[in-house]
Amino acid sequence: MTDKDRKLMDEILKIKDKKSVYIIAHYYQRPEIQDIADFVGDSYAMAVQAQKAASDIILVAGVDFMAESAAILCPDKTVLSPEPEATCPMANSISVNDVLGFKEKYPESIIVSYVNTPADIKAVTDICCTSSNAHIILEKLPENSRIYFIPDQNLAFNISSRLGRKVDYFESFCPIHATLNKADIVKLKEEYPDAELLVHPECHPEVVELADYVGSTGGMINYTSSSPKDSFIIATECGIIHPIHKAAPGKKLIMASEEMICPNMKSITLNKILYSLENMQTIIRVPEEIRLPAAQALEKMIAYSS
């Protein structure tokens, strides 16, 4: 970390305290951004924490759907995004018409949307889920119901296989997690035979099958902290290395691929956060006709997961 970074961090912390701003960051953010945040977590924890925050101003260091989720759940708070152009290709791959078309064809179906979706998709959803609670959500839905899981086909397949439950899914995937393939993972496991393989459920099923542990970012951090093992192969975005090092210092971490870098997450910088706080930009607003039904889907997720 440079002296310039430290100076920016000090300026951010001062203005944050002066304006009573609560900063929420995702585990995939840059280390220095995680270090100035009041809370760092996965997408589910971020949504819950937005509601719990006592401050009237929340800055969300994450991609656009994360800031939208905070605005949906906290209509009386000011939600800031330091980089509104930071988005998620997978989340943007599905349209409202895709969902409504399926619903028209199967009117009794239940639409389960990954939280990695825009607000207008959540608004036509019955219930949301995250990688950490998808299995809980699916287990609680009626046994014979037809489920349309959107928009991550790998998460849908991996969770439904784990539960032995059939689901329909939208064909889309995370371009970062999709970079991993079975051959590369087999090679890494041969190179590091004592390392446990930790895999995010957005990865291809053939990669998930090789894992010692499959779970969300938060789950991976908890697993490495409690495991007696000393070394781990990490199969998710590289931003998670920082919180794992903080939670489990001294353990050896091997990235499954050097290509696992989300450019949208990394587009948020200290300079952008400082500018956002100084100028109160950009405020995220969700129209009420979208916010209300989207809030129901998120609230239902939180209730089912509690």
Asked whether the domain spanning 177-261 has the same topology as the one spanning 91-173+291-305, the reply is yes
CA distances to 26, 54, 143, 157 from 151, in Å: 20, 32, 21, 11
CATH number of 91-173+291-305: 3.40.50.10800
The CATH H-level superfamily of 177-261 is NadA-like (3.40.50.10800)
- The ranges assigned to domains in the chain are 3-86+265-286, 91-173+291-305, 177-261
The contacts of residue 107 (CB under 8 Å, 6+ apart) are: none
Would you state the pLDDT for residue 96? 98
pLDDT value at residue 1: 80
Give me 289's structure tokens: 């006709």
- Is residue 174 within 8 Å of residue 201, measured between CB atoms? no
pLDDT along the chain (306 residues), means of 10: 94 97 98 98 91 96 97 97 97 97 97 96 97 95 95 97 95 96 96 98 97 96 96 98 96 96 98 98 98 97 92
Rounded distance, CA 30 to CA 267, Å? 9
**Cβ(240)–Cβ(28) under 8 Å?**
yes
Q: Distance between CA atoms of 302 and 224, rounded to whole angstroms?
A: 25
User: What pLDDT was estimated at residue 240?
Assistant: 98
Instruction: Look up the pTM and report it.
Output: 0.94
- According to the model, what pLDDT value does residue 44 have? 87
CA distance 218 to 104: 36
CATH of 3-86+265-286, one of 3.30.390.30, 3.90.79.10, 3.40.50.10800, 3.40.50.150: 3.40.50.10800
Cis peptide before 175 (omega within 30 of 0): no
Collapsing DSSP to helix, strand or coil, 144 comes out as coil
What is each CA distance from 146 to 53, 62, 141, 170, in whole angstroms?
A: 36, 32, 10, 14
pLDDT at 29: 98
